[in-house]
Amino acid sequence: MADAQPAVFLDRDGTLIEDTGYLREASAIRILPTVPAALQRFERANYQRIVITNQSGVARGLFPETTVTQIGTALDRLLATQGASLNGLYYCPHLESGCTCRKPLPGLILRAAAEQHIDLTRSVMIGDRGSDIAAGHAAGIPGVLVTTGGRTYDGPKPDAIVPTLFDAAEWVLRHVS
């Protein structure tokens, strides 16, 4: 596709914002320190910035789907105050592991790629869990692990391991574009 752009598919909790468990209130959003600068770097390099997130709290009855979209809108507003932006939010509200849109399966990445005219051959998945890396690999794209979530990693071998999203941006722009 001639007009297709590359994208960075970004996990939300632990990658863009602090992972506080089931996020139910926009007031609890805490953007991680290098995120705005990293998103600006990706934008300057003409990468779409797409959030791919599992939100099983919906299926668990902890909050309605409207909470996920309200938090997405609040995150967009907070990022805008820091000169950064996202191009889309795709989320899986399900709990069952066989769901085709739930990471580690690539359903959300593939859907976003089709809807946003993304060139997967020049794209990457960035996240802080094995399910993020596995989803990227299942979609045929590199997976970059950021250690900002602070958890022990359990998953497939990432294509790169970096401490922050800004470091991920630098790696992507050197190795993927």
Q: Which of 11, 19, 159, 167 is catalytic?
A: 11
Q: Which of 13, 19, 128, 167 is catalytic?
A: 13
Q: Is 44 exposed, middle or buried (0-12, 13-18, 19+ CB in 10 A)?
A: exposed
CA distance 34 to 31: 9
Three-state DSSP at 66 gives helix
- Label residues 110-133 b or e (16+ Cβ within 10 Å = b): bebbeeeebebebbbbbbbbbbbb
Cα-Cα-Cα-Cα dihedral sign, residues 78, 8, 69, 112: positive
**Of 128, 129, 30, whose CA–CA distance to 71 is shortest?**
30
**Of 59, 37, 58, 61, whose CA–CA distance to 49 is shortest?**
37
13 catalytic per annotation: yes
3 catalytic per annotation: no
Q: How far is CA 1 from CA 9, 42, 100, 118, 140, in A?
A: 19, 21, 25, 9, 17
Catalytically active residues are: 11, 13
